[in-house]
Amino acid sequence: MTNESILNDARDRAEPWTRPPHDEETRNTVRHWLETCESDEDSREALIDAFYRDLSFGTGGLRGKMGPGTNRINATTIANATQGLANHLKKVHGEAPSGSPWRVAVACDSRHRSQEFAQITAEVLSANGFEAWLYPELRPTPQLSWTVRELGALAGVVVTASHNPPIYNGYKVYASDGGQVVAPEDAQLVAEVRALDASVPVPRSPDGIRVLDASWDERFRSMLLKFRLSSHLVQHGSDLPIVFTGLHGTGAIAVPPALKAFGFRNVHEVASQAIPDGDFPSVSSPNPEEGPALAQAVALAKEVGASLVMGTDPDSDRVGLAVPNGARGFVLLNGNETAALLADHVLSKWQESGKLNRPSFVAKTVVTTNLLIDIANDYGVDVKETLTGFKFIAEAIRQEEGKSQYVVGGEESYGYLVGDEVRDKDAVQSCCLLAELAHDLHERGEGMLDRLADLHRRHGAYKEGLMSVVKEGREGRAQIEAMMLKFRSAPPMELAGERVIEILDFQSREARSPEGAMLRALSQASSNVMQFVTDLGSRVTVRPSGTEPKIKCYASVREDWDGMGSHSDVMDLLQSRVEAHFRALGVQGH
């Protein structure tokens, strides 16, 4: 498509946005773009980027910048997504039994307009004959997942953009099992949205809205208590000094009460970040994967002598950790290290209590550390490896129901879940269980880094890294597609001096030799992911992000380590290998 045809298509798609039912600000903005796009390059690019496509469901549902346009999050795209959801649910389930309307649960995080968008979602559902159960204030995403199951609802929606910058918002849809929708349902939902007549306003009504009151918070915390594993913590509670930050999001209202219920009496909150605020004013990014987001928490931890620092993202499905390093300082753990520590803790406790005396499994994604496989094998537990995105772990849980019990799962992107009461990554639960692990280790005179070193001694030392290359807008999307095409058509034969012995193409669902010979079929669904395995066991993976304008590159390396010599030295060596793989891949980013 030529630049001129792209502009003309954007004009055609934008013109209806100059009329009601769109609000006056939206109409004026779009009208200005249309009137000036020929003479002003900024207006032309703004018009094209806002209207060149419809938002589509990625690994985390709909997510995008807020503003006018079909490629933006706004009242119209939220209402249309909800109308499409309503149409889809009716098509699949039919009309609800007389006097017993179908239920849908709705929640939101602390972002700008999140409560407005949640209200719109509830009103559209209500107008379509559904009983919308709405949390009137911000609540964690995992609580919404649990609420869907607890209500016996057909579906759930949470308005959130997770850890993205303040200009973003999003819309996650959950199925009746509490897991995010996956293929083919996500495509069916999108098809219903695209089939809507843009000239017909989406109906809205407040009549069928039910409010989820504070009793649901108590029920959620009571459910979490079922996962306490430490008898010492249950009997005695804990005075372990812990620092927590909710980074201006839902964790600020959900995690401290949950920690208190678990028995932790000495929790220090970062006061400046305990107030929900969609501007996230104290951080450049509310992402606990990034060190600067936890800087204030680490500073407080040094003041109070804390044994653990935890921070959650705005919708409380991810948690980042910092732990003492023995030199009066703190070190950040990455998502793979935390996943390994949590998995070992849970499997150990479940084994002690006899809960592993039936078929059980651990879940991980294709870019999460293989240390989880080693740990699971040590406990005689199976492993399910899924595509990237926790919705695929939830899908695996659903598929195994009645056959094998799910124990624990994790993603390298700082998301974890124990048990199947919730069907999405749960930072509220994870904070409680990671604090419990820190408590048990403290009782034995150990720390998190001691336990991590022990895991590496037993299973081999692992180190993973992530590098993201940001490519904004329509042109950036094309550049990402070109990069993936190159990796697929001309894959590397060598990476950092290591010979590539296997090429996994998750789009064609094939594992091939470098010479092109078919080695085996891949069990996961088709996805635009390429992975390269070397003769030294390294794994290098590339994929476009499903929620952000970037291509993500992952590297995982391993070394045998018998415990002799410094653990930090072997980790430094592994880090240098990770960095060498990124250089060999030819990517630059952060």
Residue ranges of E strands in 375-480: 382-386, 405-411, 415-418, 461-470
Neighbours of 114 (CB within 10 A): 23
| Antiparallel, parallel or unpaired: β 461-470 and 550-559 | antiparallel
Any idea what the Cα angle at residue 431 is, between residues 429 and 432, rounded to 5°? 65
Structural contact between residues 308 and 242, judged by C-beta atoms closer than 8 angstroms: yes
Neighbours of 468 (CB within 10 A): 16
Structural contact between residues 522 and 506, judged by C-beta atoms closer than 8 angstroms: yes
Structural contact between residues 428 and 252, judged by C-beta atoms closer than 8 angstroms: no
DSSP state of 476: H
| Residue 238 designated active-site | no
Closest CA to 221 of 153, 315, 157, 140: 140
Distance between CA 127 and CA 116 in Å, rounded?
Answer: 16
Neighbours of 298 (CB within 10 A): 20
Residue ranges of E strands in 36-183: 62-65, 103-108, 131-134, 155-159, 168-174
Q: Which two tokens stand for residue 142?
A: 């995992």
Three-state DSSP state, 431? helix
Neighbours of 448 (CB within 10 A): 24
Catalytic residue (one of 145, 162, 230, 430): 162
Distance between CA 488 and CA 531 in Å, rounded?
Answer: 10
Three-state DSSP state, 364? strand
The dihedral over CA atoms of 520, 525, 527, 530, expressed in degrees to the nearest 10, equals: -20
Structural contact between residues 275 and 299, judged by C-beta atoms closer than 8 angstroms: no
Neighbours of 548 (CB within 10 A): 23
Locus of tokens 């470098």: 514
- Please state whether the peptide bond connecting residue 544 to the residue before it is cis, i.e. omega within 30 degrees of 0: no
| Antiparallel, parallel or unpaired: β 267-269 and 382-386 | unpaired
Q: Which two tokens stand for residue 277?
A: 């605020």
Q: Which two tokens stand for residue 387?
A: 């595509």
- For the annotated catalytic residues, the residue numbers are 162
